Amino acid sequence: MNSKELAKLASSARELAYAPYSKYKVGAALLTDDGKTYTGCNVENASYGMSMCAERVALYKAVSVGHQSIHSIALSLSGSGSPCGACRQVLHEFNPSMVVYLADETGRIHHETTLNMLLPHAFGPENLD
């Protein structure tokens, strides 16, 4: 699975977003170190604060079936959007060096970065040792 294919998966996942309130659809696709992919979309709620981001849906799917080694994540969203602070923190837990691809609605990648770049000086598991 290459980055372009991962971003296409994110774009397809975006189609499934449930975002009737913000109308801002997000799709995510993550790649584990052993080559598995997991997708997610944002799922909003009439009680707005209960809404969940696409990244965390994808991550929790992976972790909940036993995959904790995450190589990269692709996001499909509009404009210059990038992972929110909460998602940066949650993703950091599983790989601070994770590669992050930002793609448009069609899955065209326009930006590549890492979680370390997005969340410098993060609080992580090692701080609890």
Question: Taking CB under 6 A as the rule, does residue 44 contact ligand THU?
Answer: yes
Q: Tokens standing for 100?
A: 């992050």
Q: Which of 1, 3, 4, 19 binds ligand THU (CB under 6 A)?
A: 19
Helix/strand/coil for 95: coil
Least spacing, CB of residue 94 vs ligand THU, in Å: 16
Residue 14 or 67 with smaller CB distance to ligand THU: 14
Q: Establish whether 126 is a catalytic residue.
A: no
Q: How far apart are the first and last CA of the chain?
A: 35
**Stretch of residues binding ligand THU (CB under 6 A), selected from 6-14, 21-29, 94-102, 110-118:** 21-29
The residues near 99 (Cβ < 8 Å, ≥ 6 apart) are: 3, 71, 72, 73, 112, 113, 114
> Which tokens in the block code for residue 10?
């994110």
Single-letter amino acid, residue 9: L
Residue from the set 39, 42, 72, 95 that interacts with ligand THU by CB under 6 A: 42
Told to check if 53 binds ligand THU by CB under 6 A, we report: yes
Smallest distance, ligand THU to C-beta of residue 34, A: 25
CA distance 107 to 2: 13
Binding footprint of ligand THU, residue count (CB under 6 A): 13
- Catalytic one of 5, 44, 55, 126: 55
Structure tokens at 44: 């909003």
